[in-house]
Amino acid sequence: MKTPITASPLCWPAGWPRTCEREYSRFGTWNNPPTIAKGTDLILDQLRMMGVEREDVIISSDLKLRLDGLPYSNQRIPDDVGVAVYWRDSDGNDRVMALDKYLRIGCNLWAIGKTLEALRGIERWGGGQILDRAFTGFTALPSPEVAGGVDPYALLGINPEDSESARRQAYRKALSDSHPDHGGDSERFNQVRAAGKQIGLV
């Protein structure tokens, strides 16, 4: 059964590695970074100019949501600052772009918006075929359950909404318990390592 994509909590896309060490963004200044509202508006504007309807967009994060499904701007920043933007393009293809590189969630939203803006520029400059090829890299893959693989969260005994520290602690414990030197076996140990890598814990 396909895991539903929710605006909150964050649904990180399958196959996208997580960032282990985050950094300050190059956008604005530390005291005046892009806000959640500005990043959200930029994403929606760029997708709208690409012919994507608002109802075909899900901005997924751990932020609290307004009644219209978009995140409130003024709120406490969650432990997980990752953002994933899912949309269906005019040809009916499911696309996704995700980012957790920056320490502030508004900066991650803004970076996705600016990336969409740059890709839109390729189309304006006559590179439609290049754009089509570029977007194949943003195809939304099915979840591991759909693909017939092992759900990395279930394997590690955690949930996607758990804090990063809780996920890392569970990963280290699973790695230790499955290690051949501690009574585990190499196949299970390798599965745990692969699961950790898939959700960005390695």
- Spans of all domains in the chain: 1-145, 152-198
Predicted TM-score (pTM) of this structure:
0.65
The residues, ordered by sequence, that sit 6+ positions from 97 with a Cβ below 8 Å of its Cβ are: 84, 85, 112, 115, 116, 138
At residue 5, does pLDDT exceed 80?
yes
Residue with the larger pLDDT of the pair 139 and 19: 19
pLDDT on residue 146: 39
Q: Is 73 exposed, middle or buried (0-12, 13-18, 19+ CB in 10 A)?
A: middle
For residues 104 and 101, what is the distance between their CA atoms, to the nearest angstrom?
9
Residue type, 174: A
For residues 3 and 9, what is the distance between their CA atoms, to the nearest angstrom?
13
